Every structure is written in C-alpha cells, then in structure tokens.
Amino acid sequence: MTTGHPVPDRAVRNILAINFNHDGAAVLLSDGRMAGFVATERFSRRKKHPGLRASDLAELLDQAGLALSDVDHVLLCNLHSMDSPDIALLHGSDLKETWLEFWVDQRNARVSLDGVRIPCTVNPEHHLLHAAASFYTSPFDSAVSVAVDPAGCRAYLGRGTKLVALRQDFDTWFTANIGYCYVAELQFGSSIVGAGKVMGLAPYGALDDPAAFDPAKLSRFDELVALAGQDPVPVAVGDRELNARLSYYIQRGLDVQLLALFAELGPIAARNGAGRNLCLSGGTALNVVATEPAFAASEFERVHFHPACGDDGTAIGAALWHWHHVLGNPRRAYRNTELMYSVRQYPKEAEERALRAHADELSVEIVDDYAGRTADLLAAGAVVGWYEGASEIGPRALGHRSILADPRSPTMRDRLNAEIKQREHFRPFAPSVRNERAAEWFGLADSPFMLRAAPVRKPSVPAVTHVDGTARLQTVRREDNPVYYDLIRAFEDRTGVPMVLNTSLNTKGEPIAETPEDAVRTLLAAGLDHLVLPHTVVTRRRRP
C-alpha cells in the first residue's frame, strides 16, 4: 500500500463504490467493466436498506473474484449526507448498526476496510453521480445529462470522458419534486415508497380540462392541499379515503415543470454542441408519465436512462465517473444486458436445495420447452412466477425476476393487486412486448428498461392499460433476453398478443426475489399458481 496523500503506486484498475443512502448498493468496476454488483435490500430482505453490510462486501468481492487488497480506490457516496427518516419509519431503525466497519482518515483521503487501507473519495456530489450513471452508459459522445430527485434538479454537460455542471440553478423554480414527496408522505406515510403510488393514483383525480389548474399560481404546499380539498375525488383504500385530486395536482405540477425544464435544456444542448441527446436519471426519472411527454415536446431527439435511476445507481455512477472523468479512461459501448442484469447467477444446486426445503408443499415438473409451457399456463389464466439468470439492476422487473400473467384478462389487474401483490387496487401493471411489435401497440419502441410510457393503441389488453389509457412498457429483444423473448413469442402464437403482463417477483413489503429460496417463498406466500425456473415448473400442492 502507498503512504501519504493519494497517488497509488500502480495504475488504478479496480474501483469500489458504495451508496450509504437508502437503496444501499455497491459496485466493483474492474478495468472499466462491472465485475460485481450488490443491492443491499436483495440480500438483507429489508426494503430500501441503506448502506452495505460486511456480508454484502464479501458477496461483492466473491462475484468479482477479487480481494480487498486488489481494490485501488473506494468511493463512499451519500455518507451521512442524505439520511432518510423513512428508513426508521419502515424498519424501526436507521439500520446503520448493520453496516460494515470502516474508518476514514482526517483528510478523507484513505479508508480502512477490514484492516486494508485504500485511497478514497468521500461524498462526491450526489446529482453528479446520478448523471454519470446515465451519461457514461449512454451511446452518446455528447449529451445533456439531467438528474432530478427530491434533493433537487441539476443538469450537466457530458462530452467524451468529461461531465461538468451547467451553471443554471434550476432549483430556484423546479419545486414539484419536493412537493411530490410531501404528497406521498401525506397520503401514504412515506416519500420513498409512496411516490410511485401517487403516480398511479393521479389519473383517478384528473380534471376534464388540465389547463384549468395552473400550478404556477401556488407557492406553498398547504395551498395545494386546500385547493384539492375544495373539489375532492375520494378513492377508498381499505379503511382510508384518499383524495385522488391532490395526487393529480402534484402530478400535473411535475408535468408542467419537466416540460419547462426540457424546453430550456434543448437550446443549451445545441449551443454547447451536445447534439439533441438527453440522459435522464434520479428518482424522478421513474415518473414516466411526466418524462415521456416532456421529452416528446422538447428539441431532444434521443433519450437514455440507466435502469437504476434511484440511489442504488449512484454507486454505479460514482465508479464510472472516477474511471472516466477523474482517470481519463476511454468510454466504451454497452449492451443492454450489461445494464439490466447484475452478476450473481445461482447454480442448479441452489434451485434444487430450495425445492427440497419445501418438498412437502410443492409439485415439481421437469420440462424441456419451459418457455412454451409457461405460455400455455398464461394463456389458460394462470399467474406465474418467472425466475431466470441474474437479478435485475434497479427497481423494475425486466424478465429475470418477474410475475407474469395474461394482459387480455379484464379481471387480472384486480386479482394481482388484491391476492398476489397485496397492494392498492389502483396500482397499474406493465407489459413486456416484443420490440418489433411495440410501435404497433404503443407508438414507440426501444424501451428496454421499462422507463417510458405510451398510450395503449388497442383495447384488447385491459390488464396492462391504466385508467388514463397508458402503459409503462418494457420492450424485449431476443439478444437481450432470449428465453423471455421466446416466451412472449410463444404467448403470441397462442393468443395473437405479442406481450405478457409483467410485475416484480415479490409480495407486499418485500424486495424483489434474489435467490431461488426467495422465489420459492414468494410462490408460497403470494399464492402464485406456478413458479418457473429453467426447465422446471413448480406448483403448490393443494391442501386437503
């Protein structure tokens, strides 16, 4: 190891980056490629788990085939700088007691992990890391990269290996992201788990004339609540009554501000020679019903997201920023699969072990064409858990850890919400559609990360059509996920519909399944009809 302040005595090849905020995650970048990735909640089974545990670091090093002594630089991101009170609300603790032990020197120049002292960077700018994850994985040599989340709105100019902040202070007027948190907390008790629910509820409170509401006339949150209370649209959820008008108003405010933001950034991109390329990141990028119209109305022609728009993606962004911007290493092209899926794949023995542990509750069928068999089950009305390969990066199920169903069923959405996912009845579900048929059904293609929304053009898929007539779609190419693509194609052969309903393989309060054991427990706890593993169809035994 080197002594004194920074420069290592050998070239930096292996970079470890850790996000200590909610959605804790870590990545190991080796020679610019992701050699390991851990989302803490997937292994701890505590949703939104912040930071990293010692066992997660061991898992990460094992994935990469590295030892701590091989790590050349560590980035400690969002460390004590953005602690979310929602974690304590969810878990009764901030969960910092679960973190791995580490020590940082007085100059924030070196970190000690398990006795190994490594040069480090502490708390690089939060939005920069979001922007880096999107820009450096994009196909664009130059672009404007925008990061929007409850902590603010920042824009950066990316060119080659460099990513620099634009001087405009959008936070002086972009306030809908903060208001969205307030509405989520008021209606659902938490901003980090409630924001998606607000988006789903909003169209139930829509005005006949959207122009009748001008968010610019409001300056305080209590004014928004009071206005929504004057003309409420009650939606019953259990023993509570929510005002969908309030969700609509804050969604409309976000729509208007994103339209203005993208309209302002288009000419800035042109003046700086960045082409008509937009990279988008931060938690607000998950609000696809706002981002898609704003992009369509702007001067931008191409858009790129990273699947981990939330704070789990800041670990990836930090490692890429250090590799490219700080060290000057050249960029490279990415396949979708490198961005969609993590590293750890579980061997057949792990699947067999999970099945043996619950043998008295399960029936197991070995099949050759398991994609075709699954298509038969879906076409017959079954709800099927689908488990394949390494788990997804980011919050969306992208065909490796999914619950699948028939999108044609008029009752499927209610069944899934009430019986399987155990969540609010107004929550929508997404279609996974063959990319070459997507434009015909939705008017757009190339949405591999389920981060774009579009109107549903045909009436025959009510289970994936939200109340406002839109769907948040994932487009599937065979080169990205061959078995999942073949499943969708087989379902199309049987029904004429080139898509399946897709939602994440978990139930209420749980993160997405990581291991085969998690998947089997979800089959049993969520009441799925079947669970499909490679060449294996698992069914719950009916109790007498």
- Report whether pLDDT(6) > 70: no
> Is there a domain that residue 325 lies in?
no
Cα gap 39→343, rounded to integer Å: 11
Model pLDDT, residue 167: 80
User: Is there a single domain that holds both residue 355 and residue 282?
Assistant: no
- Please state, rounded to an integer, the average pLDDT across all residues of the chain: 95
More confident residue, 536 or 508: 536
Cα gap 311→25, rounded to integer Å: 8
Which helix H or strand E contains 355, and what residues bound it? helix 348-357
Could you tell me if 399 and 389 are in contact, meaning their C-beta atoms sit under 8 angstroms apart? no
> Is there a domain that residue 332 lies in?
no
Cα gap 303→444, rounded to integer Å: 13
- Report whether pLDDT(9) > 70: no
User: Is there a single domain that holds both residue 20 and residue 106?
Assistant: yes
User: Is there a single domain that holds both residue 496 and residue 388?
Assistant: yes
Mean pLDDT for 504-519 is 96
Rg of the chain over Cα atoms, rounded to whole angstroms, equals: 23
User: Is there a single domain that holds both residue 430 and residue 512?
Assistant: yes
User: Is there a single domain that holds both residue 285 and residue 356?
Assistant: no
The per-residue pLDDT for range 261-278, each reduced to its tens digit, is: 999 999 999 998 888 999
Model pLDDT, residue 84: 84
User: Is there a single domain that holds both residue 169 and residue 24?
Assistant: no
* DSSP, res 389: S
The per-residue pLDDT for range 356-408, each reduced to its tens digit, is: 999 999 999 999 999 999 999 999 999 999 999 999 999 999 999 999 999 99
* DSSP, res 100: P
Domain of 44, in residue numbers: 14-123
List the structure tokens of 414.
């209610």
Domain boundary among 123, 148, 166: 123
> Is there a domain that residue 448 lies in?
yes
User: Is there a single domain that holds both residue 171 and residue 62?
Assistant: no
> Is there a domain that residue 205 lies in?
yes
List the structure tokens of 304.
């790129």
The per-residue pLDDT for range 114-164, each reduced to its tens digit, is: 999 999 999 999 999 999 999 999 999 999 999 999 999 999 999 999 999
> Residue 402's domain is classified under what CATH number?
3.90.870.20
User: Is there a single domain that holds both residue 467 and residue 439?
Assistant: yes
Cα gap 38→32, rounded to integer Å: 17
Confidence class for position 219, pLDDT limits 50, 70, 90: confident
Which helix H or strand E contains 77, and what residues bound it? strand 73-77
- Report whether pLDDT(73) > 80: yes
Could you tell me if 442 and 474 are in contact, meaning their C-beta atoms sit under 8 angstroms apart? no
Q: Give the Å distances, CA to CA, from 349 to 55, 318, 363, 520.
A: 21, 35, 18, 14
> Is there a domain that residue 416 lies in?
yes
- Report whether pLDDT(3) > 50: no
Which residues have CB under 8 Å from 279's CB, separation 6+?
A: 131, 134, 135, 138, 140, 143, 144, 145, 146, 158, 303, 304, 305
> Is there a domain that residue 418 lies in?
yes
The per-residue pLDDT for range 229-250, each reduced to its tens digit, is: 999 999 999 899 999 999 999 9
Helix axes 312-321, 126-136, angle to 10 degrees: 70
The per-residue pLDDT for range 283-324, each reduced to its tens digit, is: 999 999 999 999 999 999 999 999 999 999 999 999 999 999
- Backbone φ and ψ of 402, nearest 5°: -125, 155
User: Is there a single domain that holds both residue 407 and residue 533?
Assistant: yes
Confidence class for position 452, pLDDT limits 50, 70, 90: very high
Q: Give the Å distances, CA to CA, from 345 to 306, 349, 395, 519.
A: 21, 12, 18, 14
Query: How many domains is the chain partitioned into structurally?
Result: 3
Domain boundary among 123, 154, 174: 123
Model pLDDT, residue 543: 62
**Single pTM value for the model:** 0.95
User: Is there a single domain that holds both residue 26 and residue 152?
Assistant: no
List the structure tokens of 269.
């991109």
User: Is there a single domain that holds both residue 105 and residue 196?
Assistant: no
- Report whether pLDDT(544) > 60: no
Task: Write down the residue that tokens 């089997």 correspond to.
Answer: 520
Domain boundary among 308, 333, 361: 308
The per-residue pLDDT for range 420-437, each reduced to its tens digit, is: 999 999 999 999 999 999
> Is there a domain that residue 216 lies in?
yes
Q: Provide the 10 A C-beta neighbour count for residue 244.
A: 23
> Residue 80's domain is classified under what CATH number?
3.30.420.40
User: Is there a single domain that holds both residue 425 and residue 408?
Assistant: yes
Cα gap 80→50, rounded to integer Å: 11
> Is there a domain that residue 215 lies in?
yes
Could you tell me if 383 and 528 are in contact, meaning their C-beta atoms sit under 8 angstroms apart? yes
